Chains A and B, each alone.
Chain A
Amino acid sequence: MRILLLLALLALPALGIERFPPPDFSGGHQIPETVVPASQARTQAWIDVAALSLGLLLASWISLRLRSRKGLVILSLVALAYFGFWRRGCVCAIGSVQNVALGLADPGYAVPLAVIAFFSLPLLTALIWGRSFCAGVCPHGAIQDLVLVRPLKVPHWLDQPLRLLPWIYLTLAVLLAATGGMFLICKYDPFVGIFRMGGPRTMLLVGGVLLVLSMFVGRPYCRWLCPYGALLGLLSRVSRFRPSVTPDHCSQCRLCENACPYGAIHLPTRTPTAPADDRDARLRTLSLLVLVPLAAVLFGWLGGKVGLVSVAWHPTGELAGQVAMADAGTLPEPAPDEITAWRQSGADRTSLNTAVAVLEERSLTLGRILGAIFGVAAALHLIRVAFPRPTADYETDAADCVSCARCFSSCPYERQRLGLPTDIPGGSHV
């Protein structure tokens, strides 16, 4: 049996295009070689990784030590030019999530080392210095940040629930990537069309709309869509260092209250002297105990449903759907190319059905797991929003702050540090 199989494999080339000589030219015409352009060198990937590392270090240093908005603007411009327009938005950290998901789920898929670096380096940076990647390295962040001319304040009640969208996006993207379906983030990226100065019309349209929106609303993609931003936010919640509005201490002058276009400055929720509210703490604990498991179960169930539905987005699932429609006679004419190619490949129905069954099982399990994780994340987010940790000072939000350095100059102590004219209210510095 095995030998037969081997013979069949050996016979395969003969089934394809057969060797047949071109004409003999009496004039001695030479038959040209097949021309194919040479491949780009692999060194590019390592230049990219080096640029990324340098960018992360610089952005962290500028935002935390130098505290210079001007420096970050220059770095953003460079990053936008290099990672955006020169490298055309590929390789990118946002999309790398999918490669990593697929790599972890499918042992046969080897993630390119550069992509691994693009996935892990910004996350490591976030653990130490917060979201410096967003501040000065990410071209998606840069393009929105740089066009922001008249920031409108998005109310807290709208901004915070919307910040759950990246988690939904991330969950779906990981689900589809890990089952080998498609790379959702790459397919619907709003800005690569702009970086590449062309692309599908819808891509360009969405990019254009988001860009116009970014002129009045701070970083709409980063805050309410970016799936990688969700991960960065999560990790920067426990970062070792993070930017603070004031270089030394807060005198509650409220000058920075409107300085953040991204709604990432916490207003004090209690006066420094008032005791912590016990009732809030109790409610907080209670909801943690009740809501988190509830959300995990609820969204785990929902995730399973979404997982099953997502099979239809998978090429195999899509093909199976079309085959079923063709059997029922409801397939619109002309028949889709998938059907033509499938029929032509000689694959049989049983193997297709088996593949779909396997896929459904995997998607269901993965959907449940991811849904439960999403449920926990969503519940924690809502609890944190509803029962904010009592703060006495004006502070940057650990997760939401993208280290853009905009707020620093509004702080009178910062101005004093820089030797700029200042008017410290109450003159009460310690």
Chain B
Amino acid sequence: MAEQRSEPDSGRRRLLRATLWGGGLAGLGALGGIGVKRLTQDPPAPKRPPLGPEFTYDVSRFQTSDPGLIQWRELSRFPSGLERPRNLCTTPGGHILVCGDDGIRRFDADGRELGFSPIQGRVHAVAVLPDESLLAGLPDQVQVIAPDGKVRAVWELEDVLPTSIAVADSRIFLADAHARVIRVLDLEGRPLQTIGQRDPDKGIEGFVVPSPYFCVRAAPDGLLRIANPGKHTIEAWTTDGDLELAWGRASFAIDGFCGCCNPVSFALLPDGGYVTGEKGLPRVKTYDECGAFTGIVAGTESFPEYVQATQAGTPEAASAGIYVVVDAAGRVLILDAIGGTVRIMVRKEDGDG
């Protein structure tokens, strides 16, 4: 080697040079070409975490329901037209009211929009008074809206979050998710009493409301039905504040209430049974008057936008409910807060509704 190098112009050295030149350049060209080729051919492979299944929160086995249990079908659906819908109710005249962050929208029984009452703030609950005025429940206040659309009164209520309002026997029952009690008011907004105040001496455990979902309904039997989501039960209370009965159990299985706090909404069927709405795993189901599971109105698979949002874990999903009411014709109306639509559901056998 050293000998060759001391002869600067040997033929071997020239050869070496040529090899170097050619080899280097050709190698580089080839490298570049192969790189370009490979990169253009390979489709971007989706990245998956190399974590074991024990590190993945998986509820997929609960996200499809047994088709044999689905006893209802969707008649139609219509958009709520609200940026963030929060609740709904029906009027004695057969209209549908949907409330949310912009105000209250009124639809006829087929979903045609009839009117809009803009309200500043988050309207968590809506109800109708016997005189056809509307009650709009907002954080720390209830607005009374006359049939002509004017705000007739504003009842200021400190530290109250009304998430559901029932009206019966000239009394207003306000589900207050903040204090976790039912506030009873007269038709002028004067407080009469509270129901369900936690009282260990009387053995009243009270309501467990971990998130702003707390639903109250007045039943034809004169009792109130109140959801106790933290206990996964629906309870019957007298209007004087005595607990009569409770039913429901926590389970991801179809006959139970899933997650930490469900049902978020329920309604009473004409036959005395219940329709329940659950968040997390969005699903709407029916129970008989004793609380035995009877069937599915809409399974988790019928809420794809909602499921996608919960899969992505967005904060919107963490505070979005599935709200249900039953109208005078016995149809079930479902408001999906993420999909933003109201669906009208009817029983499969009497499709003409």
Contact = CB atoms under 8 A, between A and B. Distances in A.
B16 A340 contact: no
Interface string B28-61: 1001100110011001101100000000000000
A15 B122 CA distance: 10
Contacts of B351: none
B177 interface: yes
A9 interface: no
A15 B315 CA distance: 8
A247 interface: no
Nearest to B5: A267
B139 to A, nearest CB: 9
A164 B24 contact: yes
Interface string A9-24: 0010011111011010
Interface in B102-131: 122
A340 B23 contact: no
A157 B16 contact: yes
B200 A15 contact: no
Given A378-B28, A382-B21, A17 B315 contact: yes
Contacts of A309: 35-36, 39-40
Contacts of A387: 17
A321 B39 CA distance: 13
A75 to B, nearest CB: 33
B200 A385 contact: no
Interface residues of B, number: 47
Contacts of A390: 8
By secondary structure, the A interface counts as helix
Contact of A160 (B20, B28, B309, B314): B20
Interface in B1-30: 2, 5-6, 8-9, 16-17, 19-21, 23-25, 27-28
A425 interface: no
Contacts of B210: 23
A420 interface: no
A17 B308 contact: no
A341 interface: yes
Contact of A312 (B2, B44, B208, B319): B44
A21 B24 contact: no
Given A161-B24, A322-B44, A336-B47, A26 B308 contact: no
Size category of the A interface is 35 or more
B315 A277 contact: no
A90 to B, nearest CB: 23
A322 B46 contact: yes
A148 interface: no
Given A164-B24, A322-B46, A344-B309, A14 B200 contact: no
A57 interface: no
B101 interface: yes
Interface stretch (A32-40, A126-134, A191-199, A268-276): A268-276
5 contacts: A17-B315, A18-B122, A161-B24, A271-B6, A343-B308
Interface of B: 2, 5-6, 8-9, 16-17, 19-21, 23-25, 27-28, 31-32, 35-36, 39-40, 43-44, 46-47, 84, 101, 122, 161, 177-178, 180, 198, 200, 208, 210-212, 308-309, 311-312, 314-316, 318-319
Given A11-B101, A277-B8, 16 more contacts: A17-B318, A23-B180, A26-B200, A157-B16, A161-B20, A306-B32, A306-B36, A310-B39, A325-B43, A332-B46, A337-B46, A338-B47, A344-B312, A378-B28, A386-B17, A386-B20
